Amino acid sequence: MSDRSVVSLNGAWHIIVDPYENGYYDYRLQPTSDGYFRNAKPRTKSDRIEYDFSRSPTLEVPGDWNSQRPELFLYEGTIWYQRTFEQRLAPGTRVFLEFGAAAQRATVWLNGALLGHHEGAFTPFSFEVTGALLQGTNDLVVKVDNTRRREAIPTVNTDWWNYGGLTRDVRLHICPQTRIADVFLQLGRGSRSTFLGHVKLEGPDAAGQNLQLEIQELGISQHLETDASGTAVLSFEAAPSLWSPDSPKLYEVTVTSARDLFRDRIGFRSLEARSGEIFLNGEPLFLRGISLHEEAPGGGRRAHSAEHAENLLARAKELGCNFVRLAHYPHNEHMVRAADRLGLLVWSEIPVYWTIDWENANTLENARQQLRENVLRDRNRAAVALWSVANETPVSEARTLFLGTLIADVRALDPTRLITAALEHRYVNETTVLIDDPLGADLDVLGCNEYIGWYDGLPEKCDRITWQSAYDKPLVISELGADALSGFHADPLTRFSEEFQESFYQRQIEMLRRIPFLRGLSPWILVDFRSPRRPLPGIQDMWNRKGLLAPDGTKKKAFFVLQQFYRELSQAGVGTLGLRS
């Protein structure tokens, strides 16, 4: 039996736009005890209160603020969110307030009491509110700030829109006093039958508890007992039908404790990288991928629902993909769950992007926190194959040390996945590029972004390039791409035309066939996306146009080039497709 339930706090929240943080600081720039978090009301006609949530406009949660009100299109700063909810605390229960994400930093108050802060726009966080909850009407206030900061993750400079707000689901999670706080269950690295993981209880009776783990369809029924820390280690043998993109089998897994029930649908598959290959369920794998930003179909706003996820991933499937790179930050949980159901392997990453403040201890701490939150949320998803720790970071000792810490963290949190990063390459002569970033030594799979034919020469340049690697490791070209405005037709040398992009893909594919250690690609990008770095009038208008699809879903010519290549690859299999080996 379970005392668990979930109450959604999605819907319309009142907001106050507060660019000067007037609701937080007094005129000496000291935090005030009298801020908007009090949601105060005048008690007499003489009271001076200069804000009123109940008469302020509303925004939908989940959702970014930029796309909901024209005046917030480019807004970067603070917005206060407020709503009330009715709740009563049942005896013997605890209540947690959970945010899917708040972009980028949030401070949360319940009934005027500070619950805490969170930094990082793309990962979940929660606060226990059992003690702060009133029996009846409760008042919840969240200050959300999306100001870009040099020392933040990501830093000030990115090629995507700085969407702010309560961008993902908000809910109350009602649990028993002693709750199942974490379940991790996967096949060990490279194994097709050895399950490993753990169950963690949290609460007054966490130690020495009996638990039952069931995977009925597999005939698994395991009795477990928690140790003094409330943990029970999982380790058993079974022969599951293995999850794969062609057969995304999920099993219903339950864990029962005295008062709690955990239930999830989990897939099991084996993954490993050795001798320059990636193996899925013992078979060599080629990753036919595409990169995606977290923008909803139609474009120009954050995706946040299962429908958005299904729609985006269906387009990747139509392209012939078995793999998606969820760039450049953890996407919402609906995406990874949809990938699990639809059969798409996932590259998951945190926004350690370009030039981070490598020597700043707080920056490292925040990167570690975001990584931990991402891995803990998604490590039961069979779809997740690769954890990536960075994108196009400049080589330096400080950078490599920083990323080395992240890599050690991932290995400790999840020994079952492969670790990668999107690296850069360098020219050793006019026609030879080499991947020798020292970080490569620490990765299972090399990622590399390259724009030969777009930022680097014209498409015909691809014909002359030879690739080398300092490592005997599989390579995924994690980006390649060229801008094209959907419907703009010209000759193949005219920038931004569909024909330029088409010819770029044709030449790139011929070059890729000549990379002996290539084991996958995730071109940039499935759909055009919003970016303030792209001002060209009539062409970009603040969109990055490297999509194979326009925001309305119209296919550009290059879509069919890549689709054809993927058809060929899926029929030929690794090693026989013209990839020189």
**Interaction mask 316-335, ligand GCB, x per CB under 6 A:** ------------x-------
Of 392, 437, 502, 528, the one binding ligand GCB (CB under 6 A) is 392
d(C-alpha 332, C-alpha 337), whole Å? 9
CB 203 within 8 A of CB 223: no
What are the residues facing 314 on neighbouring strands? none
- 159 vs 182, beta carbon nearer ligand GCB: 159
* Number of Cα atoms under 13 Å in the Cβ half of residue 260: 27
Smallest gap, in angstroms, from Cβ of residue 544 to ligand GCB?
5
Alpha carbon distance 286, 474 (integer Å): 10
Sheet holding 466-469, edge to edge: 426-429, 432-435, 466-469
φ and ψ at 296, to 5 degrees?
Answer: -70, 155
Calpha distance 574→578 (Å, rounded): 9
Of 449, 469, 501, 522, the residue at the interface with ligand GCB (CB under 6 A) is 449
Q: Which of 391, 469, 506, 508 contacts ligand GCB by CB under 6 A?
A: 391
Phi, psi of 291 (to 5 degrees): -90, 150
CA distance 485 to 168: 30
Q: Is 479 in the site for ligand GCB (CB under 6 A)?
A: yes
Report the side by side order of strands in the sheet with 194-202: 179-187, 194-202, 231-237
285 or 484: whose CB is closer to ligand GCB?
484
As a whole number of angstroms, the distance between CA 397 and CA 358 comes to 9
Q: Which of 530, 546, 556, 557 binds ligand GCB (CB under 6 A)?
A: 546
Q: Who's near 564: CB < 8 A, 6+ residues apart?
A: none
Count of residues in contact with ligand GCB, rule CB under 6 A? 10
Rg (CA), the chain: 25
C-alpha–C-alpha distance, residues 108 and 290, integer Å = 37
Is residue 508 near ligand GCB by the rule CB under 6 A? no
Task: Name the residue number minimizing CB distance to ligand GCB.
Answer: 159
Q: Does 159 help bind ligand GCB (rule: CB under 6 A)?
A: yes
Binding letters toward ligand GCB, positions 235-254, x by CB under 6 A = --------------------
CB closer to ligand GCB, 110 vs 327: 327
Find the shortest distance in angstroms from Cβ 536 to ligand GCB: 13
**With respect to ligand GCB, which residue has the nearer C-beta, 87 or 522?**
522
Distance of closest approach, residue 319 Cβ to ligand GCB, in angstroms: 18
Span 125-154, contacts to ligand GCB by CB under 6 A: none
Instruction: Give yes or no for residue 169 binding ligand GCB (CB under 6 A).
Output: no
SS3 content of the chain, % helix, strand, coil (to 5): 20, 35, 45
Q: How far is the CB of 394 from ligand GCB (least distance, A)?
A: 13
Which secondary structure element, helix H or strand E, spans residue 319, and what is its range? helix 306-319
C-beta of 158 vs 186, nearer to ligand GCB: 158
DSSP, residue by residue, 21-47: -TTTB-TTSPBPTTSGGG----SSTT-
Tell me how far apart the alpha carbons of residues 576 and 197 are, in angstroms, rounded to a whole number.
Answer: 37
When asked if residue 379 is in the footprint of ligand GCB (CB under 6 A), the reply is no
Taking the complex as a whole, the smallest distance from the CB of residue 534 to ligand GCB amounts, in Å, to 8
Shortest distance in whole angstroms from residue 441 CB to ligand GCB: 22
Joined together, the tokens standing for residue 480 give 């390649």
Rounded least distance, CB 483 to ligand GCB, Å? 7
Burial of 194 (0-12, 13-18, 19+ CB in 10 A): middle
Q: Nearer to ligand GCB by C-beta: 224 or 458?
A: 458
Tokens 């490590």 belong to: 379
Q: Least CB distance from residue 422 to ligand GCB, whole Å?
A: 7
Output the smallest distance, CB 530 to ligand GCB, in A.
11
524 lies in the binding site for ligand GCB (CB under 6 A): yes
CB of 266 to ligand GCB, least distance (A): 32
Q: End-to-end CA distance of the chain: give it in Å, rounded.
A: 56
CA dist list (Å): 345 to 11, 231, 317: 32, 30, 11
Q: How many CB atoms lie within 10 A of CB 11?
A: 12
Give the shortest CB-449-to-ligand GCB separation in angstroms: 5
Q: Identify which of residues 27 and 455 has a Cβ nearer to ligand GCB in the complex.
A: 455
Per rule CB under 6 A, is residue 420 in the interface with ligand GCB?
Answer: no
Nearer to ligand GCB (CB atom), residue 108 or residue 482: 482
Which residue among 107, 146, 366, 544 contacts ligand GCB (CB under 6 A)? Answer: 544
Q: Measured from the CB of residue 481, what is the shortest distance to ligand GCB in angstroms? A: 6
Which residues form the interface with ligand GCB (CB under 6 A)?
A: 159, 328, 391-392, 449, 479, 481, 524, 544, 546
